Structure formats: structure tokens, C-alpha cells
Amino acid sequence: MKTIINKLEYTFLTIIFLLASFKSYSQDDKLTRQEKKAAQKEQQYVNFQILDSMISSKSFVLEANYLENGYGVRRPVMSNINFIMVDSLNAVLQTGNDNRMGYNGVGGITAEGKISNMKITKNQKSLSFFLRFTVTTQIGFYDVAMNIYSTNSARAEITGLTAGKLIYDGWIQTLYNSRVYKGRSIV
């Protein structure tokens, strides 16, 4: 009888300690969520500072995961052949398709040219940037309007002299971390 009582006491104490540990863990979990949120906010601010230096030096690549036309039709694409590259005073606008050949050798078009009229707007409150610039290429003039966010996501709208637009939706990379493949430019 005494051993049964000892086993019950042991079991009862074990249950109490387990419940106490679950309760303390749940309180720590709330603190952890707050700490995670603070860490995420801090990381976004650090990213904002890094993006500021990349944009100021005009040295970055928007690697598109999706392309969208003016009618809202959105298609997933390969980011290494669909991109907008800004390198100092030059830019490359490229579309590609891995299933067929195109003018540029990667199933699309590569337009390379000089950047002019670049305007950069920095929003400290939302930790984002808005860029607007014109690219003069061999095949025409293109206006680029780009939103870049501190999460490293970006969205750019390209319009030309003709009706229509193309929207690149993806991620910002440095020129050195980018994994893009530039096809042949149209001459």
C-alpha cells in the first residue's frame, strides 16, 4: 500500500512539474515572439541601409520570379534569365524562356543601354525606395519605375514608346551575388 502511495505521489509531482514547465514555456514563447518581431524589424532596418548603399552606387540586379503583362496575366519565370541589371550608368533589361530560343539565345530579348534621368525616392517610414529612370537602347527607349522594399523584394514596371507594359516581380541582389545569365544584345 505504501509503494502505491509513493508511486501516486511521484506521478502527481511529475504531472505538476510538467504543467509548470509548459506554463513557463508558454510565457517564454510570448517573449520570444516579441523578440523575433524586434529582431525582424532590426534586420529590415539593416537591409534598408544595405539597399541604400546599393542603390546610391547604382549597383544591383532585380531577379524576377514572375513577369506580368498590362492585363494582369502573371507567369512564373526563371530568375537567372529574367532580370533588370543596373550597373553604374548602364542597364540591362532581359526576358527569357528556357523552353525555346529567342533573339538573345535564351528565349527572349536583351536590351542593353545607358541610364538617364534617374530619380530615387527614399521612404524612411516604410523602409522602401522608389526609383524611376529611362534606359536608351538600340531597340528603343524604356521607362522603368521600380519599388524596392527592405525585405529585398522588388517590383518594376517597364513601359516603352508603344502601348503595353511588363512588370518584373522578384528579389534584389548585389551584382556580385547575382546569378543571372546575360544573353546576346540586339544590335
Task: Give me 173's grid cell.
Answer: 541582389
Give the whole-angstrom CA distance, residue 75 versus residue 61: 20
**Interatomic CA distance for residues 164 and 138, integer angstroms:** 19
Q: Which residue has the cell 529567342?
A: 102
H or E segment to which residue 42 belongs: helix 2-56
Range of the domain at 181: 1-187
Residue found by looking up cell 530560343 in the block:
101
For the stretch 3-19, pLDDT in tens is 544 555 555 555 655 55
Where residue 53 sits, what CATH number does that domain have?
2.40.128.410
Report how far Cα 161 is from the mean position of its chain's Cα atoms.
Answer: 28
Query: For 68-83, what is the mean pLDDT?
Result: 94
pLDDT digits (tens, 9 = 90+) for 149-181: 999 999 999 998 888 899 999 999 999 889 998
- In degrees and rounded to multiples of 5, residue 111 shows phi and psi of -115, 120
